Amino acid sequence: MTAGRTANQTDPVAKTPHGTVRGRYEQGIAVFRGIPYGAPPFGPRRFLPPVPPESWSGVRDAGSFGPTAPKPPYSEAFAQYLSDPDIPGDDCLNLNVWTPEPGPGARLPVVVWFHGGALTRGSSAVPVYDGSSFARDGIVFVSLNHRLGVEGYGLFPDAPANAGLRDQLAALEWVREAIAGFGGDPDRVTLMGQSAGAISIGALVAAPRARGLFRRAVLQSGAPEAVDRDKVRRMVRRMAARLKVPATAEAFAAVDRELLLRTQAEVGRLSSPVLGGPAFGIVVDGDLVPRDPLQALLDGDAARDAGLLLGWTSDEYRLWLVPGGLVERVDRLGPVALAGAMARCHCGSEIPRGYRALHPDAGPAEIVGQMVTDHMLRRPLHRLADARPGTTYAYEFAWPSGRPGLGACHSLELGFVFDSGDAPDSVRLAGDDPPRALAAEMHGAWVRFARTGDPGWRAWDAGHPVRIFGDGPARTAAGPRDAELALWDAEPAVPHQTPAPQPLPARSLRGTELRSVVRRLRRAATDRAR
């Protein structure tokens, strides 16, 4: 469907549960930005669950993006690839709507987008996330902001956990109640997110309180997980020690917001997706997240009828290791880096040996990167697909960036899913002249999934079909990652024709020595982005 509005038409108006909003027509699409779904989460509401915004009289202007959640900027190394606009203001619990048919009656399918950024960065205002291409194709597209970092995922004895995830639930409840007024069908909602956004969706798909708020879900480069509570506590305690305040919500609420952000950034510098470390994340809280989300989904006691589209990129790790030259440093460290990866993945030496056997020409950085990617991403997504055959679809994004060294890295697929590859922010990551045909294929598959639940290839079954989006037309491959993932479930059986793997260090690193290795690698990987 293509919207037929004209640019000079009267501004669109829609009703929400809290008042009327006026948007803008942009190339025939009605766009509403900065609509509050929750009250500002500061002052007496800081670190507490969200509450509805105050209602307003008259018509509220919704022509500009609302404030973004407090967050530190990306490091210089990452800022050359990733955009992260910062819009000041307290009213950060807001969302945006792109629709081809504003007003009740259209009953169009709805996509709700959850941004990435390791739950510490990102927002709905990132230019790549423009929803106009989805609205152009008959989808009502919603994107949202929520609390990040310590504001959204700090763990305190005097405040409920997972405030940021509770924000996301509140936004979905807003969609359920309000989206018909924007032309959407509240019974045809697809959740869609990448990286931390996909992790959030995994928790919501598994959450009993979110049932009935969506029909399908897309998880791009992020698997359902619950972070160990002590990992989050360590972040809070380290921040408290630097700030010289108690590790409580009451004490943190009294700290200047900018100082809190700087402290969070300093404490988080030694955390890395590749090598772990203390970090903010979703935790089991006995309420919104009653148990580990992945296990709940594997056991089949959560959202059994929800269709899933799951996937990853071929070289996820390159966005984590290429900026700042960490690939070269990991390659120089060699066996030390492999030992660090073993600690990160909680595995023995048979795993890196197996990867070396399967990829004899790969250097240490590639082996480390693919090991960690499989451990934290591909393996849990495979397990999830195995538990839900017939209604689950899998993909791999394999087109390499035109930027040196990035390959098919984490986040690269976004410009293709959103069909926004020509946007300057997409070019920063993909390079000049990304293939338009690939964008049309990927975006079309995501649109079909939101409409019908079928993206256009065979659903997951015992043959492990994976749609490969790379150079040339998309194709379906049978189990392209099965050999690597089998290493995690049994001792590897190395084919006789495969060259023998290089030996690992003669003695294994243990205890304090291994922890020292991991600390050295984390220092080299400071300020990584997930």
> Which residues are 112's β-sheet partners?
142, 191
Catalytic residue among 101, 151, 173, 316: 316
Known catalytic residue at 123:
no
> Which residues are 140's β-sheet partners?
110
Catalytic residue among 410, 411, 413, 420: 410
180, with CB counted inside 10 A (0-12, 13-18, 19+), is buried
**Per-residue burial over 400-424, b = 16 or more CB atoms within 10 Å of its CB, e = otherwise:** bbebeebbbbbbbbbbbbbbbbebe
In residues, how long is the chain? 530
Residue in the block written with tokens 């990853």: 312
Known catalytic residue at 316:
yes
Q: What is the 3-state secondary structure (H, E, C) of 49-92?
A: CCCCCCCCCCEEECCCCCCCCCCCCCCHHHHCCCCCCCCCCCCC
Count of Cβ atoms closer than 10 Å to residue 432 Cβ:
8
71, with CB counted inside 10 A (0-12, 13-18, 19+), is buried
Angle (nearest 5°) at CA 140 between 134 and 144: 95
Q: 326-333 and 335-345 helices cross at what angle (nearest 10)?
A: 100
Known catalytic residue at 272:
no
Q: Residues with Cβ < 8 Å from 506, sequence gap 6 or more?
A: none
Q: Residues with Cβ < 8 Å from 230, sequence gap 6 or more?
A: none
- Name the 3-class secondary structure at 190: strand
Helices (H) and strands (E) in the chain, counts: 20, 14
Catalytic residue among 143, 195, 314, 401: 195
Active site residues: 195, 316, 410
